Structure 1
Amino acid sequence: MTPQEILAQYGPRDAMEYDVVIVGAGPAGLAAAIRLKQLANAKGQELSVVVIEKGSEPGAHILSGAVMDPIAMNELFPDWKERGAPLNQPVTADEVLFLSETGATKTPDALVPDCFHNAGNYVISLGSVVRWMAEQAEGLGVEIFPGFAAAEVLYNDDGSVKGIATGNQGVGKDGEPSDAFQIGMELHGKYTLFAEGARGHLGKQLIARFQLDEGRDPQSYGIGIKELWEIDPARHKPGLVVHTAGWPMQPDTYGGGFLYHLEDNKVTLGFVVGLDYKNPWLSPFEEMQRWKTHPSIRQYLEGGKRLSYGARAITAGGLLSLPKTVFPGGALVGCDAGYLNAARIKGSHAAIKTGMMAAEAAFDALAAGRQGDELSAYPEAFEASWLHKELDRSRNFKQWFKKGVWVGSLMTGIEHWLLPKFGMEAPPWTIHRTEPDHARLLPAAQCEKIEYPKPDGVISFDRLSSVFVSNTNHEEHQPAHLTLKDARVPVETNLAVYAGPETRYCPAGVYEFVKTDNGHDKLVINAQNCVHCKTCDIKDPTQNIVWVTPEGGGGPNYAGM
């Protein structure tokens, strides 16, 4: 049965009414919910706010480096230290390294661009911060529904957003309702804020429906692959922040590594690859694994133990790719819009700030008796904010790196180190892009095949053992949430022309080509492995793969990430 047929037979769905509905219990969504309740409570007003979260709990799907700039947290909770926010490890030192295959050149501190200076920032587990934020939100009266996936945007007769519907539970692989079937519910809001993270399933639909990206540069993305380790105390340097460029990436491919020392002998490390790469033989997962074998990284890991693994797409287009963020009845906040600052490799402070600004606009609109219109005060507040100034200064970052690592490094130095010395807060020039990431991939025959070393099981690992420590789980009898517009395309185009890049760009082993009994190739989708990184939805050269929401509660359950 189609979803429409299921609704016709089992509907109507129950509906719950709220003043504001928020999709996603990440830093942006929770900041919005908290700010709404702070404003309402300060004025003694009743305001109903609900947050819906597809993860099994707030923080279960949260993945970030992460070094946090506390500027937005200071605004949201000036007393966050007294409240016990888990920002425990201040940054104590920065290192920026350019790697060759066996060596490293450290950038002198005096020449490190401002965007890589982290004095006053904190090395954190963003998942832990989000769990703490959820506790603060509930303490203020916010309702949080974890384990429910927002599967559909609902619209009023006038075309404005009405709210969302959660996915049905208990639908079998054949699409038919099982004995455990439960129809989804509707959450209606006077305003709905979407905070799903990068490449949000519903955010993508809203951008298309309301043409929010018209006149903007195409959004650009990277995939971040991360691990959490417990290391030898003798090798631990609390607060040390290391960033690397160069090896193992080729000069024409954007990518770099990070290694951050948390408290308690933990390090968080990972590798980011720009999803505008051209060579279909490239595997971001394998690049990350061999990056760890470099002496500058291995020195910290030897004798240690890997605790967790995860992967997530990040937005990297910056200000020039930022869509219009408001539409009748709602708004996009955080990485659902694309506020991450790729030059600083930071997005959590931007997520919190944009959640707050959208909340303030929604509160004022409700106080004035309005609903369902465009929250124009939100983008106006952004234009006047410190965040806009920060993103404007970094607006050319990804565009320069599309011209190669040396051009990107040089121009980042000019725009973030040299120009500020002359009192220039933003570059006087703007570089635009016209090509989306998926269109950059070249046919396999035009590219050199990359042979990756086998994992040693000590420093480097394979995909399946990595997925295991991500605690990923999906109810096995549900329909696959990784769907194909045309089932013929993977073999006839992706495999024939691009040598099956989905088997390499997926960091979880979801996609594999197998031979059928008659010797033909067939794509198998192991959806139960999916860590919800959204890379396939972004990088598929034919845009034939569409990521849709699985049953709520499915996916990774990250611990300490």
Structure 2
Amino acid sequence: MKDAAPRETMECDVVIVGAGPAGLAAAIRLKQVNPGISVVVLEKGAEVGAHILSGAVVDPAGIDTLLPDWRKDAGHPFKTPVSRDLFLTLTEEKASVMPKALLPGILSNRGNYIVSLGLVCRWLAKRAEALGVEIYPGFAVTEVLYNEAGAVTGVATGDMGVKKDGGHGKNYERGMELHSKYVLIGEGARGSLAKQLIAHFKLDAGRSPQKFGIGIKELWEITPAKHEPGLVQHSTGWPLDNNTGGGAFLYHLENNQVAVGLVVHLDYKNPYLSPFEEFQRFKTHPVIRPVFDGAKRVAYGARALTEGGWQSVPKLTFPGGALIGCSAGFMNVPRIKGSHNAVLSGLYAANHIAAALADRRAHDEVNAIEDDWRESAIGKDIYPVRNVKPLLAKYGNRLGTQLGGFDMWCQQLFRFSLFGTLKHGKPDYACLEPAARHKAIAYPKPDGVLTFDRPSSVFLSNTNHAEDQPCHLRVQSMEVQEQSELGDYAGPSTRYCPAGVYEWAGKDGAMRYVINAQNCVHCKTCDIKDPNQNIDWTCPQGGEGPVYSNM
């Protein structure tokens, strides 16, 4: 590789990595507290919102705190308040509605909104820019910068135009260094920088292992006669078995649109399970299928969710910065909501960073961010549901759901749990069992009308990567991959990836691992679920990956 030229540098007070709800909320709050603070937000997607995917039913608590007058803004995206709430338990042929009287109050969606989280981020970006925040989409941050004392002093973006062989293409451009007094990391679930910082500063010491899920979502335009704006429908049970955690959702937005999706907890055991195929099966249920008669699928995407909650949130602060949003993991699992806490985490971090700047501090550890969050609205939201995920993992869906509901009722009525605080068990990758313990699953072929294959789905995600660049999915040892991932686990990466990135090709024992990196939708599932932790997801060139318009 040619000698690298020096990188250009840029100075600011605070650099924020990720233009998601947490990062944009932090940027807005910093400017609200002190307009003189210089704030830069770096976003790896081609535009703000391009890599944002969520259900989403949004609790407005975070936006209410950040922007109390937001309802007066005619351009806000919250057009569809929740009008009806259903919770179904599915068997293969039937569905039963759970009486509302049995559901803990925390699961109610009254006062919430069905909305595209991508549109929310685009709206927040406009509010941030109006306050003077500088937002740069298309810049993938690949490196953390440290000073001699070991404190974080900024970040660097990746080089552009690097070829597969490491040489420089004709459009080669050196990355940029951004030097700041503090850095906030808001990359979302399993962010590559957050992963590095957690390991470097041992931020997860004394915490339970972080837990994750994969959410797969489609957006459909359905016939007006079947559309009920504001309907929120959640379900548990089929197509997942008792030992595979997760659930499905179906949300009716405005303009005859329906968001449908399935969340599969990534602590599942069976290496033959395919979350993508399970989602396609879900749509064929006799109660679900009629919704899509005469409908058209318009969008597809997938994303990891951070599900560990109270027990798994790492230490938030390190010298020179902090983790915010899903980089830390503030999702309320039974509510399937985290964006409100992401906004609040950005806001709270910004308050303390602004105070540190006012005291002329820089590159030190702002301990107040870590000290205060558990007593904040975030802590009060996720503490009462802290045992739901461990109970599901230990006792299975049927009994675990009942025990989780009982525990939430005890928290609601008595502010007390008979279980105390349960720990999570093994990390998700260690939950996968060898193929010899399981039977292969025969999934039906897609019909191209209601159910689909991966290639046609990835096409709808508008995913694009330049092919002549180093692969951003780094396999540390191909020997381990062949002997263990294929030999012991029967190649689960070909099934857990929702984009068809991984293939085992060949015959007669001569198998070759094929990585179709250009298909990657940046869900991070491979980084989480590979049983040997042999795949490392890193950022490709800035601006690449999916381009979600309103997911």
Alpha-carbon separation, structure 2, partners of 1:52 and 1:426: 42
Alpha-carbon separation, structure 1, partners of 2:377 and 2:39: 27
For the pair 1:223 / 2:217, whether they are aligned, the reply is: no
Q: 2:404 aligns with which of 408, 412, 434?
A: 412
The one-letter amino acid paired with 2:305 is I
Instruction: After TM superposition, give the deviation of residue 417 of structure 1 in Å.
Output: 3.1
For the pair 1:242 / 2:233, whether they are aligned, the reply is: yes
Structure 1 pair 368–425 and aligned structure 2 pair: CA distance change class (3 A): farther
Residues 111 and 417 of structure 1 are in contact (CA less than 8 Å); yes or no, is this contact kept in structure 2?
Answer: no
Partner of 1:329: 320
Partner of 2:540: 550
Residues 91 and 237 of structure 2 are in contact (CA less than 8 Å); yes or no, is this contact kept in structure 1?
Answer: yes
Partner of 1:189: 180
Partner of 2:527: 537
What residue ranges of structure 1 are gaps of 5+ in the alignment? none
Question: TM-score under structure 2 normalisation?
Answer: 0.98
The one-letter amino acid paired with 1:13 is R
Q: 1:266 aligns with which of 257, 280, 292?
A: 257
Residues 34 and 142 of structure 1 are in contact (CA less than 8 Å); yes or no, is this contact kept in structure 2?
Answer: yes
Partner of 1:100: 91
Instruction: After TM superposition, give the deviation of residue 433 of structure 1 in Å.
Output: 2.0
Q: 1:439 aligns with which of 424, 430, 437?
A: 430
Instruction: After TM superposition, give the deviation of residue 204 of structure 1 in Å.
Output: 0.2
For the pair 1:136 / 2:127, whether they are aligned, the reply is: yes
Alpha-carbon separation, structure 2, partners of 1:392 and 1:272: 22
SS of equivalent residue, structure 1 residue 10: coil
Partner of 1:496: 487
Q: 1:309 aligns with which of 300, 311, 325?
A: 300
The one-letter amino acid paired with 1:526 is N
The one-letter amino acid paired with 1:108 is P
Partner of 2:53: 63
Instruction: After TM superposition, give the deviation of residue 11 of structure 1 in Å.
Output: 2.7
SS of equivalent residue, structure 1 residue 64: coil
Structure 1 pair 427–197 and aligned structure 2 pair: CA distance change class (3 A): farther
For the pair 1:232 / 2:223, whether they are aligned, the reply is: yes
SS of equivalent residue, structure 2 residue 474: strand
Structure 1 pair 200–427 and aligned structure 2 pair: CA distance change class (3 A): farther
The one-letter amino acid paired with 1:34 is I
Question: Cα deviations across residues 426-473 of structure 1 (Å, max 9, x unaligned)?
Answer: 666121123110001111011121110011111110000000000000
Instruction: After TM superposition, give the deviation of residue 116 of structure 1 in Å.
Output: 2.4
Alpha-carbon separation, structure 1, partners of 2:357 and 2:411: 43
For the pair 1:479 / 2:473, whether they are aligned, the reply is: no
SS of equivalent residue, structure 1 residue 509: coil
Stretch deviating more after TM superposition (403-412 or 342-351): 403-412
Residues 394 and 426 of structure 1 are in contact (CA less than 8 Å); yes or no, is this contact kept in structure 2?
Answer: no
Partner of 1:347: 338
Instruction: After TM superposition, give the deviation of residue 408 of structure 1 in Å.
Output: 1.8
SS of equivalent residue, structure 2 residue 414: coil
Q: 1:36 aligns with which of 30, 34, 45?
A: 30
Instruction: After TM superposition, give the deviation of residue 10 of structure 1 in Å.
Output: 2.2
Instruction: After TM superposition, give the deviation of residue 332 of structure 1 in Å.
Output: 0.2
Instruction: After TM superposition, give the deviation of residue 486 of structure 1 in Å.
Output: 0.8
Question: Cα deviations across residues 119-147 of structure 1 (Å, max 9, x unaligned)?
Answer: 00000100000000000000000000100
SS of equivalent residue, structure 2 residue 478: coil
Alpha-carbon separation, structure 1, partners of 2:49 and 2:218: 16
Partner of 2:16: 22
The one-letter amino acid paired with 2:541 is E
Partner of 2:380: 389
Residues 410 and 417 of structure 2 are in contact (CA less than 8 Å); yes or no, is this contact kept in structure 1?
Answer: no
Q: 2:155 aligns with which of 148, 157, 164?
A: 164
Partner of 1:449: 440
What residue ranges of structure 2 are gaps of 5+ in the alignment? none
For the pair 1:289 / 2:283, whether they are aligned, the reply is: no
Residues 410 and 416 of structure 2 are in contact (CA less than 8 Å); yes or no, is this contact kept in structure 1?
Answer: no
Instruction: After TM superposition, give the deviation of residue 47 of structure 1 in Å.
Output: 1.1
Identity, in percent, stands at 56
Structure 1 pair 388–427 and aligned structure 2 pair: CA distance change class (3 A): farther
Question: TM-score under structure 1 normalisation?
Answer: 0.96
The one-letter amino acid paired with 2:266 is L
Instruction: After TM superposition, give the deviation of residue 412 of structure 1 in Å.
Output: 2.1
The one-letter amino acid paired with 2:83 is T
Stretch deviating more after TM superposition (75-84 or 191-200): 75-84
Partner of 1:153: 144
Residues 419 and 427 of structure 1 are in contact (CA less than 8 Å); yes or no, is this contact kept in structure 2?
Answer: no
The one-letter amino acid paired with 1:190 is K
The one-letter amino acid paired with 2:405 is G
Residues 113 and 412 of structure 1 are in contact (CA less than 8 Å); yes or no, is this contact kept in structure 2?
Answer: no
The one-letter amino acid paired with 2:217 is K
Question: Cα deviations across residues 376-404 of structure 1 (Å, max 9, x unaligned)?
Answer: 12123312212101111011111011020
Superposed CA RMSD: 1.2
Alpha-carbon separation, structure 2, partners of 1:335 and 1:426: 26
Partner of 1:364: 355
Residues 388 and 401 of structure 2 are in contact (CA less than 8 Å); yes or no, is this contact kept in structure 1?
Answer: no
What pairs with 1:465-476 in structure 2 (closer than 5 Å)?
Answer: 465-476=456-467
Aligned length: 549
Residues 384 and 411 of structure 2 are in contact (CA less than 8 Å); yes or no, is this contact kept in structure 1?
Answer: no
Residues 31 and 37 of structure 2 are in contact (CA less than 8 Å); yes or no, is this contact kept in structure 1?
Answer: yes
Instruction: After TM superposition, give the deviation of residue 425 of structure 1 in Å.
Output: 6.3
Alpha-carbon separation, structure 2, partners of 1:479 and 1:386: 43
